Structure formats: structure tokens, C-alpha cells
Chain A
Amino acid sequence: MDNQVKSYEVRSLTSTDVRFERIGDTLAMTLNDGGCAVYYPWVVVRSCFPVSDDKVFLSVRDATAEEQDEIGIIDDWTTLRETDREAIAAELGLHYFVPQITGVMNVKEEFGFLYWTVGTNKGPKEFVMRDSVVHYTREIGPGHYLIIDVNQARYEIPDVGALDAHSQKLVRLSLRL
């Protein structure tokens, strides 16, 4: 059992410190630790602000450790090399599966549930949410919404105004905007 007092310092990881690669469905990292290369065969990345800004403050954790200890934080992962960015984007895409709604074909209300038929950036989807806007939708910013369905899956509408007229009408009606 780990009997060390954990450090409260944030360790920043920069593009010169790290190399990422995807091995199958997992992510591996090589860390330049004071001139010495440390290889982590399996790391996971967790966004500190997955809703408001998923580009910043990415916590890199050792997935092989029991408590998934944090190795460090990448302040802005868009500054990493392209190959690293691609590997991280793929990992984040799998961990944070939040489809963005690109069009709303139909919304039907029945017995306290809303049945949505939508197009998303991840493919077409039908889902069901409870018809309680105050509990199952979240306004992230102006025109930016998050919808939570009965399975606790999340769907994002980055900008209601950018949707086509029909979709906008349905979203505004259903989310009482």
C-alpha cells in the first residue's frame, strides 16, 4: 500500500516531455523524465473541463496503477505534435462519447417522455429523454446545450442557431428555449 504523502503540486507535461501512441484501443506514453525516458504501456487521459473546454488541462494517469495515479497534466494538448494529438483525440473520443446533434428530424412527446430522432456527428440516433427540461438539459453557454437521456447518455447542441430551421423549431419547442 502506498504510504507516501501525495504531492499537491501540479506537474505540467509539455510537448517536449511526452510522446503518445495508440496500441489497439489503448494509449501508451513515453515520458522524458529529466533526461531519462520512462515508458508507460497504458495511460488514460481525463479532461478536467470536458464540458466547458476539452482542449485544456488534460490529466494523464497511469492506468496500470491501482488508483490510476496522475502522472501529470497537459495544459493545452492542441500544442502537442500532430501524432500525439491524433492519439489523444482518438482516446478522448472513446472515453467521452458525447455526440453532437447536427439535425433534428423529429421529437415526439408521449407520457412524459420525449422521443428524439436526430442526426449527430457520430451517426444517426434515436433516443429517449424524460420530459423535464430543468433536470435533463443543461445550458453550457448561449445557445449551447447538453441533453441527458434516460440512459444517462449525453448529446450536445453546440449552437442551436446553427441548426436548420426545422431542427431549431423542434429544439426550441422541446427544450422550452
Chain B
Amino acid sequence: MKQHHRPVPAPDSTEPPQSVLQMLQKDGSQPDRVRLAVKSDLNPEARFGEQWLLIDDEHLRVMERHNGSANLRYKFALDKIQDAKVERCVGNGLLQVTVDKQPHVLLHYSNELIGRFGRVAHYLHERAEIGPDAPIPAPDADTRRCLVCGRQLMDQTSKVCPNCIQRGNIMKRLLGLARPFWGKIGMIILLLSAGVLVDLLPPYLTRILIDDVLRAGAREDLLLWLVGGLLGIQIARVIITIISNRLTLNVSIRFTSGIRDQLFSHLKKLSVDYYDKNQIGRLMTRINQDTSELQGLVSQMTTFALNIMLVIGIGAVLFTMSPSLGLYVLIPTPLVITAAFFYYRYMRPHFERFWVARWRLNATLNTFLSGVRVVKAFAQEDQEEQRYQQRNRKMLESRLQVDLAWSKFFPLVSFAFGAGGLIIWYAGGQAVLADKITLGTLMAFLSYLGMFYGPLSNLTHISQTLNQFLTISQRVFEMLDEEPPKEVAVPVLKPQIGGRIEFDHVTFGYDPYYPVIRDLTLTIEPGEMIGVVGHSGAGKTTLVNLITRFYDVTSGSIRIDGVDVRDLSMDQVRKQIGMVLQTPFLFLGTIADNVAYGKPDATRQEIIRATKAANAHDFITRLPEGYDTIVGEGGAGLSGGERQRISIARAILHDPRILILDEATSSVDTEAERQIQEALSSLVKGRTTIAIAHRLSTLYNADRIIVLNHGKLEEQGTPRTLMENKGAFYNLVQLQTQLARLDGVPTL
């Protein structure tokens, strides 16, 4: 495999150097007793360096290695370690243990090693809980590695490291995707070849014209035929160009549009986890920008193909016409190639600077337009204008730089091209004077020459364009190769679920080493309404995300009607779960479309019934276009409470067995809240309902309240019991009452 550059190595983790082992022996242990050894890449003085964490049967040791010798920094008996955790800092992380209730920071490590030390902390935590039987982890176990070479991936979102991207394979795959267009591609190649032949003809005819016609006493009768022939060739060229351009455009547009369809259809299958890891902006770029760029590059590849044919064709003709003059053509060739090569090298950064400046200018304008109300409300128009002008100046400067560079460079490139012609004029002129070649041959030669250097210089950046083409294709393939979440082969079918939900020792973390839900056991009966409360970050939303299987538990299990959610058909389960979120999302379409989103075949009567139950019917009918009102992304033109009631109507029409209300009323005013509460009361009837609420007053109707604290179940019971117990829930209510008094809001 071709190595393009030295890969950035991930710091080795498991082979402690001699000096560390010697120190270990000095401290009473033996290298063969070491069960886990991991290296950090930072030293205690916050510089890149080396520290080792070694765990044998009895002790944990941390050693710093400096100038070839090791010194012991910490030593703790494993049995004394009560807990361990990692914490993220800026550009690094730290590993901390608790011994005799005292926390100790053991070491820091760079961001590259976050996974490694997360596993160490997890092991130490488990060892503290279950003792010496806790399984020893492989420090770099599930760090994503390149599928080809096995090296740790620098970019965790890719599958293969840049070193191992096989150009041949990408091309093969692209050709596979282009299969439906092979016929058209064949046509394009034929047309290009025909075009090249047609291009080669005019100089040949001018040669005959000069040598045989335009001389006294020559064949004057041929003049009309030759000129007519030249005209015919020009017409043929125009027709070929039109058809081949149309075909190329057709293929490139349809090809990339097909890829876009494939990407979207794959995207919808991917898990929520994938969307967490990939910003929306980046996904948009991949689907829109990358495919458009691919389209441009496909067209550019056609140009390359044409140029290759031209260079070969003209080269062959030149050498056939006059081998000696053909050699002269080669003299300025290196100059042309060098000039063209430097042109792309020299000009590209200037263009890129300009593109960045233009992007920034557009972003500034976009921010201003999106936030124009805020700008005006704070009277910051002048400041915004200044910001825009500043960015505009930057763009102007970078554009000037492009033009300046171009104006400097263009004459040089022209000179390189022109010099070739001069050499031929001189050498060819001498050959004509010596009667070695005719004047017509020289003129034809010069015409061919004019057609030769252009394509040749164009070909100098073929490798760069090809690289860009392959990079983008690889990015597209990466997305297509992302695996959708696994479903069991034969899922348990539940056409109608009862609504009993059991959490059985559930632990979960978005990153497995940072648990957000810890060992949660809880049963929710069918038809029960549960209120979930706790501080922000307590794991409330995570809890409901697990029921919908947006994520899978790290350990333990969640059962619906006694069946593990992982054994159920995801599609069937989700069809019976309704969600009302804090920020209602309305799709671009009519209000009726939005209400019927979960049940597209709903009748108009059903839609109206649902909106009436959701307290939305009245305001909808007051709108000039009623149910046909178009609501945009985020529902422009409607208030927060109105949007929320539409989303409740959507949930009512969906008629779910399990209903999840995630802060459904927290972003609206008191009056809107009252209306939403009324709407919700008709929605929750007879359904298992899990309501997360910040405003505790909204949960007084709940059958049971559960209080979460750092992912653990702290307290549960009826609102009345919990108030009487004066525990966590009581404290939260008290706190909220005090805050409400401060705000002047009447409390319950």
C-alpha cells in the first residue's frame, strides 16, 4: 500500500518501559504481576510527557517517566479505592479516585486518550463495587480503528484512515453506481472521440488551402469545396459539442441526484446516536454540497478525458506531419507544464482565501437577517453594519489578491505558451526556406500547436482534481456505509401494547464510561401517569429516550408488556408511543398535514376532533386559511402555545398507548399553560403517561412522582406522600415556591 505520509501514532499504551518496571520492582512488585498498564501523554507539569498507571493484584501506582528514569507519584491499595471517575477539562481529561472518602487526581491525559482512561475509571469503579472479579479491560478495546490497517482513527467519525483509502476501490464503486448510465457514458466517449477528430481536420484543410489552392496556377476549383468543408466541420463541431454537453450534464445531474436519494434513504434508517455525533450542518454539507461538487467534478472528468484525447491526437498528427518540428514542440512543453503546475499551486490558496472570506460575509448577512428583530430591539444596526463592512472589506481584499495574482501570473503563462509558437516559427520558417516543408504544413503546425498547449496545461492538475473527486466520493461512501441500528432477526410482534413499562437495573451513558442513568429499577403500570422530576442533567430526558429506543441501555433491560424492547419491532413500538416535546416541531406544510403527521390517512373529521381535544380548533378556525394555513419550519406566525397545541393534537390523533410529555408546557406563559394543561388532560386519559416537568405544579395530578438525582432513583410515591415525607420532592417544591414568590407569581 502506498504510504503518503507518516501517520500520527496513537501513544502506545500497554508496554511499560524498563525504567518503569524497575521502579515497580523497587517498590515491591513484579512485572509479571501487572494486570493493567496504561500510558498517559501528559506529565504533571502540564506538558507533553509520559506517565504510567500500573495496576497489579493489590495496588495502583502512578509513575512519571522523565529523561529515562521513573519516579513513583501515587500508590494506593486497590481495596481502599472507593470510586473512580474521569473528568473532562479543556484539551485534556483527568482521572480521579476516591480513597478514604478523599478524592485524588491521579493524572491528566490529552483528549486523544479519553476513551482509554474512561475504561480504566470504569474498571476501578467496578472493582470497588464487585471486588477483584471485575473484568480487566483492554485499554484501547473499542476505540475505533481503521478497518484496513487497524491503526487508531484520528477522526472517530470515519471508518478508514486517509492512508488506507484505496483509490481503485472508490473508482470501482463509483463505476458501480454509474451502471445505469453506462450506455450514455459510452455515447459521450464516442462523441468526444468524434469531436477530437473533427478538431484535427481544419488545420489539415488549411494546409491544402495554402499549399494547393492559394498559389498562382493552382487548383482554384477546390477553394469553394475547402471553405465549404471548413464550414461543415464547424457545424459538425457545434452539433457534437451540444449533444455531448447535454449528455454529460444529464449523466452528472442524474448520477448525483441518485446518490442524494440513496443518502437520504440511508440517513432515515440511522439511529439518533448518529445524529448526536454528526452536526446537522455537516450532514447538510455532505448531502447538498458534496453531491453538487461531485456533479461538477464528473463534468470536469469529461473535460480531462477530452484533453487527454486531444493531446494524444494532436501529438500524433504533429509527429506524422513533420517529426523534426514535432520535436521542437516538445522544447517549450516543460515550460508550459511547469507554468501550469505553479499556476494551480500559486492561485489555489488565493481562491481558497477568497472563498473563506465570502463564506464569512454570507454568514454575517445570514445572522443579521435571521436576527433582525433582535438587532433592531437593541438598536445595534450600526454595529452590525460595521461588522458587515469589515467582512466585506476582507472579501474585497481577498478578491483583489486573486486578481492581482492572476494579473501577475497570466502574462507569464501566456509567455510560456507563446514561446512555444516562436520556436516553431523560427525552426519551421527555416525548414520552409530550405524547402523541407511547405508553408501550408507550417501554418497547420502552428494551428495544431495552439490547440496543444491548452489541454496539456489543463492536464497538469488532473491528479489534484482526481484526489478531490475521490475525497468527496469517500465521504459519501462513509455515510452510506454507516450501519443502521440492529433489529432482532425475528422481532416479537405487538400489534397492540398494554403499556406496562419495566426498568430492570438499567444503566446507560451516551458515552458508556459516563453513566447518565445508574442502576434504575422501576415499574410503570398500564394507564398510570408518572411525573419525572429532578435537577437538569438528572437523566429525565434520557429515561424517556431509552423507552423509545433512541438509544440502547448499557446494562440491564427495559421491558414493555414483559418483552425486552430490543426484542420488539422498533417500528411497531414507536408507532404506539406519542411524544410532546418542549419545543414543538412543525413541518413545512399545512396545519392539517401537521396534525395528521402520524396518521396520514386521517379524515378531516378526525383531525378536527383531535384539535378540539387539544384546545386548538378555535384559534385555527380564526386563521384566514384555517386548517390550510402553511406553517414553516418551527411554525412561523403561531405563538409557542399554539404550536404546542398543534403538536398535542398530533399526539391525540396518533392515539398512542404510551405518551411522553417532555417539558410540554415549560416554554409558554401561564394562560397558554392552562390551555395546554386542559388539552393534555384529555390526551392522557387511559394511556401510560410519563411526564417530565420543570413546573412541579403541573404534576399534581400524577399517580406517582419519581425523583431522579444524577441518574439514580432518589424517591418515588404519590405527590401527597412525597410532600408529607419532606424529602427531595418537598425540597424542590419549596425551592420553586420561593422562586415563584420572587417572580411575583401566585403559587399553589
Contact = CB atoms under 8 A, between A and B. Distances in A.
A115 interface: yes
Contacts of B14: none
B46 A150 contact: no
Interface in A133-159: 133-135, 150-154
Given A3-B735, A110-B5, A97 B104 contact: no
B155 A150 contact: yes
Interface stretch (A9-17, A32-40, A72-80, A121-129): A121-129
A110 B8 CA distance: 13
Contact of B111 (A25, A122, A153): A153
Contact of B155 (A50, A66, A113, A133): A113
Contacts of A99: 48, 91
Contacts of B48: 99, 120, 122-125
A110 B154 CA distance: 13
B165 A26 contact: no
Interface string B16-46: 0000000000000000000000000010111
Contacts of A94: 46, 89, 92, 94, 108
Interface in B1-15: 4-5, 8-9
Contacts, number: 124
Contact of A95 (B44, B89, B710, B739): B89
A66 B709 CA distance: 11
Interface stretch (B78-86, B235-243, B600-608, B726-734): B726-734
B61 to A, nearest CB: 14
A128 B349 CA distance: 20
A20 to B, nearest CB: 16
Contact of A90 (B46, B165, B363): B46
Contacts of B732: 1
B471 interface: yes
A115 B104 CA distance: 36
Contact of B4 (A97, A110, A153): A110
A124 B47 CA distance: 10
Contacts of A65: none
B731 A150 contact: no
B284 interface: no
Contacts of B710: 66
A173 B471 CA distance: 20
B49 interface: yes
B112 A95 contact: no
Interface string A35-78: 00000011000000010000000000001101000000000000
B103 interface: yes
Contacts of B156: 150
A91 B744 CA distance: 43
Given A25-B107, A50-B90, A134 B353 contact: no
Contact of A153 (B102, B105, B112, B155): B112
A98 B471 CA distance: 30
A160 to B, nearest CB: 14
Contacts of A123: 47-49
B110 A111 contact: no
Interface in A14-28: 24-26
B111 A112 contact: no
A5 B92 contact: no
Interface class of chain B by DSSP:
mixed
Contacts of A26: 103-105
Shortest Cβ-Cβ A-B pairs, 4 listed: A123-B48, A25-B105, A93-B46, A97-B91
B91 A176 contact: no
B45 to A, nearest CB: 8
A172 B687 CA distance: 62
A85 interface: no
B269 interface: no
Nearest to A94: B46
A85 B31 CA distance: 41
Residue with the greatest number of chain A CB neighbours at <10 A, chosen from B42, B91, B156, B360: B91
A108 interface: yes
A126 B8 CA distance: 6
Contacts of A2: 731, 735
A130 B282 CA distance: 12
A111 B471 contact: yes
Given A26-B104, A123-B47, A176-B356, 6 more contacts: A94-B108, A99-B48, A112-B475, A123-B49, A134-B360, A177-B353
Interface in B324-354: 349, 352-353
A94 to B, nearest CB: 5
B742 A5 contact: yes
21 contacts: A1-B732, A3-B731, A5-B735, A24-B105, A25-B94, A90-B45, A90-B46, A93-B45, A94-B92, A94-B108, A96-B90, A97-B89, A111-B470, A112-B162, A112-B475, A113-B155, A113-B162, A120-B48, A130-B155, A152-B91, A153-B111
A42 B103 contact: yes
Contact of A1 (B92, B105, B467, B731): B731
Contact of A97 (B110, B363, B470): B110
A133 B107 contact: no
B90 A113 contact: no
B320 to A, nearest CB: 42
